[in-house]
Amino acid sequence: MSEPTAQPLVRAQAEVAELLSDLIRIDTTNTGDTATGKGERRAAEWVAAKLDEVGIGSRIVESERGRASLVARIPGADRSRPALLVHGHLDVVPADPAEWSVHPFSGEERDGYIWGRGAVDMKDMDAMVLALVRDWARTGVQPPRDIVLAYVADEEAGGKLGAHYLVDEHPDLLEGCTEAISEVGGFSITVRDDLRLYLVQTAEKGLAWMRLTAGGKPGHGSFVHDDNAVTRLCEAVARIGSHRFPLTLTPPMREFLAAVEDAYGVEIDPAEPELALARLGSISRMIGAALRNTANPTMLTAGYKANVIPGTASATVDGRFLYGQEEEFERQLAALIGEGVQRQWLVHDQAVETTFDGPLVDQMVAALKAEDDGARPVPFTMSGGTDAKSFQRLGMRCFGFSPLRLPPDLDFASLFHGIDERVPVESLTFGVRVLDRFLRAA
C-alpha cells in the first residue's frame, strides 16, 4: 500500500466538498457578453475572503466592470527559484435548470457527488487548491518555491477578459513563473483493478471560432432565385460539417497511443487508431478529437420573414487545430468554405504543446503513484482549450494537472459542459492529497 501523505490534511479533505458547493452556488455564467454575464466579481471576492481568513493576501483586477480575476502569491522557501503558477477559471458555461436532475447552481451533495455547473469545469480544481493552501496556512507549511494562484474570468469565451488581460496588463503579478498547471489533466481511466492510466495534458489544440457570412440577391420568396445567400451559406456549412480532416499524429498522442497499446495488450493501427480507442469508453470522443483538426458548425442566422429571401446569411463554426497545423488548417478550411462566403475570426488563439519530461513531470508522476499504486501517468493532447494559451505567451511551460481518481463507470467526458455535471467527493479528497504531495516537492 502507498505511504500516507506527510500531512494528514484532515481539514482540507473535510472542507473541499463544502468549498466546491459554495463556489458552484455563485452563478458565474459566461454568455460571452459582459452585459449578460454574471458572478465573476462575486466569486473572486469569495475566494479572496477565504484566503484572507487564513492570512493569505490577494489582489483582484477587473478587465471590464464585473469581469474580475484574483491573483495571490504564496512565498516559497527558496525565493531565488522560478515560481509555479496554479491557475483556474471562475466562469462557467450556461445551464438550463429544466434539463437537470438537480438545479445546476445548487451545489447539492447527493450519492457521494457534488452536483452543479462547474463541478468538473473547473470549480473542482479551484476548490481543491483553495482547500490545500488554507490547510498549509493553518499548519505552517511553506512550499519549496513561490506558488502563484490565479483565479480568472472569461476562460469559457476565450480568455480575452481574464488570462489574456492578466498577461497583457498585469504581467508583474505573474513575475518569475516559468511553469504552470491547471485543468483537464491528471484524471484516471481504469484499465483493470490494478492499473489506471492518468492522463496529463501536455498539449491542447488551437482555437479558431469563426463567423461565415454569405451574400446574395434579396427578393420575394415565391420567385425563382439562383443567387440565394441562405443556399450558398448552407452549402458551405454542410461541406465543413461533414468533412473529416486527415489524421495527424502529434508527439503527445504517439506517446499516449503507445501507452494504450501496452496497457491493454493490443496493437494499434496507426492509420486507424480510433478503432483501438473505443476500449477507453466515453473518453474516446475527447481523445479521438485530438488526432485531427476539427471544425463544427454551431449556429445559423438568416432572414426575418418566411416569404422574403434575405440578402445575407451567417453561421458560427467552432474550429480547432493541432499544434503545428495552423497554416494547414486554414488552407483546408478555405477550400471547404468556397467562393462567395466571407470568414471572420471571432476568437483565434494558438495551439500549445510541451514534452512529458523534466523535474515537474517527475513530481506529478511520483505524487500520483504515491496515492494510487496502480497509477500510470501518460501524456495526451486535449481537444479543447484552456488559459494555458495566454500564460504560455510569457514563456511558461503549461500542463493540465487537476488530479482525480474516477469511478470506472463514470462518463467523465460527457460532464464537460454537459447535463448533470458532477464530481465524486472521494475524487476531490484524492486530488487534495495528490496536489499536496506534488506542490510540496515541485
CATH number at 171 reads 3.40.630.10
How is 113-127 classified by DSSP, letter by letter?
EEESTTTTTTHHHHH
Q: Which three cell numbers stand for residue 27?
A: 452563478
Residue 298, φ and ψ in degrees, nearest 5: -125, -25
On whether residue 270 sits in a domain, the answer given is no
Tell me the per-residue pLDDT of 359-376, one tens digit each, with 9 for 90 and over.
999 999 999 999 999 999
On whether residue 276 sits in a domain, the answer given is no
- Provide the β-strand partners of residue 352: 204
Query: Does 5 have pLDDT greater than 50?
Result: no
Q: Residue 227 and residue 243: Cα distance in Å, rounded?
A: 24
Torsion on CA atoms 428, 31, 321, 178, rounded to nearest 10: -50
> Same domain for 31 and 164?
yes
Tell me the per-residue pLDDT of 16-59, one tens digit each, with 9 for 90 and over.
999 999 999 999 999 999 999 889 999 999 999 999 999 999 99
Where b means 16+ CB within 10 Å and e means fewer, 206-231 reads bbbbbebbbbbeeeeeeeebeebbbe
Pairing of strands 352-353, 195-204: antiparallel
43 and 51 Cβ atoms separated by less than 8 Å: no
Look-up of cell digits 484552456: 386
Tell me the per-residue pLDDT of 118-137, one tens digit each, with 9 for 90 and over.
999 999 999 999 999 999 99
> Same domain for 212 and 320?
yes
Expressed as residue numbers, the domain containing 168 is 10-201+352-441
> Same domain for 80 and 220?
no
∠435-138-396 over CA atoms, to 5°?
A: 35
CA distances from 271 to 249, 275, 291, 292 (A): 10, 10, 11, 12
Q: Residue 279 and residue 281: Cα distance in Å, rounded?
A: 5
Tell me the per-residue pLDDT of 252-284, one tens digit each, with 9 for 90 and over.
999 999 999 999 998 888 888 888 888 787 778
- Provide the β-strand partners of residue 356: none
State the pLDDT confidence band at 3, using cuts at 50, 70 and 90.
Answer: very low
Pairing of strands 177-182, 397-400: parallel
On whether residue 74 sits in a domain, the answer given is yes
Query: Does 227 have pLDDT greater than 70?
Result: yes
> Same domain for 39 and 111?
yes
Determine the average pLDDT of the residues in 187-197. 95
pLDDT of residue 7: 53
Q: Which three cell numbers stand for residue 393?
A: 505567451
Query: Does 313 have pLDDT greater than 60?
Result: yes
Residue of 252, 141, 197, 204 lying closest to 404 (CA atoms): 197
399 and 185 Cβ atoms separated by less than 8 Å: yes
Query: At 197, is the secondary structure helix, strand, or coil?
Result: strand
Q: Which three cell numbers stand for residue 244?
A: 473529416
Q: Which three cell numbers stand for residue 338?
A: 468556397
Query: Does 355 have pLDDT greater than 80?
Result: yes
pLDDT of residue 8: 65
> Same domain for 307 and 361?
no
On whether residue 273 sits in a domain, the answer given is no
pLDDT of residue 272: 86
DSSP 114: E
Residue of 373, 435, 402, 442 lying closest to 9 (CA atoms): 435
Q: What is the mean pLDDT of the chain?
A: 94
On whether residue 280 sits in a domain, the answer given is no
281 and 194 Cβ atoms separated by less than 8 Å: no
* Residue scoring higher pLDDT (280 or 98): 98
Q: Residue 43 and residue 124: Cα distance in Å, rounded?
A: 14
Look-up of cell digits 469569495: 46
On whether residue 20 sits in a domain, the answer given is yes
Torsion on CA atoms 155, 160, 162, 168, rounded to nearest 10: 140
319 and 208 Cβ atoms separated by less than 8 Å: yes
CA distances from 7 to 55, 75, 434, 436 (A): 20, 19, 11, 8
CA distances from 334 to 77, 149, 239, 337 (A): 53, 41, 11, 5
> Same domain for 106 and 123?
yes
308, 323, 350 - which closes a domain: 350
> Same domain for 305 and 386?
no
CATH number at 220 reads 3.30.70.360
Looking at the structure of the chain, the number of domains it has is 2
On whether residue 3 sits in a domain, the answer given is no
350, 371, 394 - which closes a domain: 350
Tell me the per-residue pLDDT of 378-410, one tens digit each, with 9 for 90 and over.
999 999 889 999 999 999 999 999 999 999 999
359 and 399 Cβ atoms separated by less than 8 Å: no
> Same domain for 371 and 388?
yes
Determine the average pLDDT of the residues in 161-187. 97
Span of 34-38, 101-105, 193-197, 296-300 with lowest mean pLDDT: 34-38
> Same domain for 185 and 40?
yes
Q: Give strand ranges (E) for 183-237.
A: 187-192, 195-204, 206-215, 219-220
23 and 118 Cβ atoms separated by less than 8 Å: yes
303, 322, 350 - which closes a domain: 350
> Same domain for 235 and 224?
yes
**CA 348 to chain centroid:** 16
> Same domain for 183 and 235?
no
> Same domain for 87 and 112?
yes
pLDDT of residue 2: 40
Span of 81-90, 233-242, 254-263 with lowest mean pLDDT: 254-263
On whether residue 277 sits in a domain, the answer given is no
